[in-house]
A and B are shown apart, each in its own frame.
Chain A
């Protein structure tokens, strides 16, 4: 029986695809690679790699410990490379002021609510970052998170730097 090998990219080893244009503008496809973006990002820089109206998916380089963040809606963190500890804590009465209309917002320091727990997530693991809670990421080694969220105050849009612009 043939043995199949599943190819998952990583920060250390990825092979980007391409757009072969026949009669179109490559910019319309907004083509990028999450590992390539994360390889040049600052730790926990929230770089949009997909945008659909108010919704975004962000490529995040996880390295060291992030600030505490919260959002007025559920978010979902998919680890695409490495290992990330996700710490969850309830918001306290003074923390909700940090919540903008949408997207994730940084807290000033740690939240004041009860500790909910933590998750150690590796490649392929998806974690709910629930509304009403704050979260903090920690990674001992550079790792990659894909975040399903909404366009927020700290979402970085640098499309011209990350997408294929020529045929």
Chain B
């Protein structure tokens, strides 16, 4: 058995606002009361601290997700499933043409450990990066406390289906999942199960909509059912997806309730391609060569459907598979 050596995070002590600064290769990260500053050999960038932390939270919690996590139009990561690219301007046509872009590759444990410590140090008490804007405190100000319970919360990853004995449990008031204020009208009834004697544990059914109505977080796809590599990852959405997700495979959206608007851009250049307005019952594919950001005027239930086959990114990038799921 090989035991990985502990990762040493390159960071400084607190600055005058109380925040540590971090370094990953030639990338430097620091924050003050309002902003996060990123520097690399050919450029520098600034983001609002709350926007940066919301994006960082998802990148960390999702283990760098599928494909590209753009924190905004300049900075982000590319998951190579074992290593991760950290980039600035690489997927921005103007930066590329001006040759101001920069990219470095890190082992996943290295960048994960650095991002974990950055998120922990830069998240103040009362600010929950996963919450909707009206359900959390402020990210701003000089350093005051932390919010470890929020930034390390359990991510649901069912191995078969939520509620199956031994799998992810249901949500209820008692385990800290009250119904969200936007979903007070969602029925909380459970399916009627009538097992024959001896089959009590083999009849599994649950109220997915009630389960989602009790989600504490936004824009956080979590696995509720598994059919091979086919993963149902529903999530509740409110306000704006804090990242721009660049696909390395086809991803599907099934709108369960309410309305979402997706702004779709070319994955590599950022050129605008389409706006997709989805309402309850709508189904849309996100091709493997685009990036997308969602807007939700009211908290909405979205079923994100993923194919977790690890061979897909290479098959698509090499042209062996198309970037669309169905050729018509």
List the interface of chain A (C-beta within 8 A of B).
1, 3-9, 14-24, 26-36, 49-55, 57, 73-76, 78, 80, 86, 88, 114-128, 130, 133, 146, 148-150, 157, 159-160, 163, 165
Contact = CB atoms under 8 A, between A and B. Distances in A.
B284 A30 contact: yes
Contacts of A15: 279-280
Contacts of B187: 122-124
A57 B307 CA distance: 12
Contacts of B273: 21-24
Given A36-B281, A55-B229, A149-B227, A121 B184 contact: no
Contacts of A114: 196, 198-199
Contacts of B192: 119-121
A118 B307 contact: no
23 contacts: A14-B280, A14-B281, A16-B281, A17-B255, A17-B282, A19-B277, A20-B274, A20-B276, A23-B272, A29-B284, A31-B283, A36-B281, A52-B249, A55-B229, A116-B195, A117-B194, A117-B202, A120-B192, A126-B208, A126-B225, A128-B205, A130-B202, A159-B328
Given A53-B312, A120-B194, 14 more contacts: A4-B183, A4-B184, A6-B183, A17-B282, A20-B276, A30-B284, A30-B326, A34-B281, A55-B227, A88-B199, A123-B187, A126-B161, A126-B224, A130-B204
Contacts of A146: 254
Interface in B290-311: 298-299, 305-307, 309
B277 A57 contact: no
B7 interface: no
Given A23-B272, A53-B307, A148-B225, A128 B204 contact: yes
A16 B274 CA distance: 17
B203 A28 contact: no
B43 interface: no
B272 A22 contact: yes
Given A17-B279, A76-B161, A124 B324 contact: no
Interface stretch (B15-23, B75-83, B109-117, B257-265): B257-265
Contacts of B256: 8, 80
A74 B228 CA distance: 8
Contacts of B259: 7, 17
Nearest to A14: B281
B230 interface: yes
A16 B282 contact: yes
Contacts of A86: 205
- Across the A-B interface, give the 7 residue pairs with the lowest CB-CB distance, nearest first: A124-B209, A9-B280, A117-B195, A55-B230, A120-B192, A9-B281, A17-B277
B325 A30 contact: yes
Nearest to B272: A22
B225 A125 contact: no
> Range of interface residues on chain B?
35 or more
Interface centre among B183, B186, B230, B305, by most A CB within 10 Å?
B230
B193 interface: yes
A53 B285 CA distance: 13
B314 interface: no
A148 B285 contact: no
Nearest to A74: B227
B324 A28 contact: yes
A23 B271 contact: yes
A110 to B, nearest CB: 15
Contacts of A18: 276-277
Contact of B307 (A32, A55, A75): A55
Contacts of A80: 256, 281
B230 A7 contact: no
B170 to A, nearest CB: 12
Contacts of A124: 186-187, 207-210
B208 A78 contact: yes
Interface centre among A120, A123, A148, by most B CB within 10 Å?
A148
B276 A31 contact: yes
A67 B323 CA distance: 36
Contact of B283 (A26, A32, A74): A32
Contacts of B26: none
A102 to B, nearest CB: 9
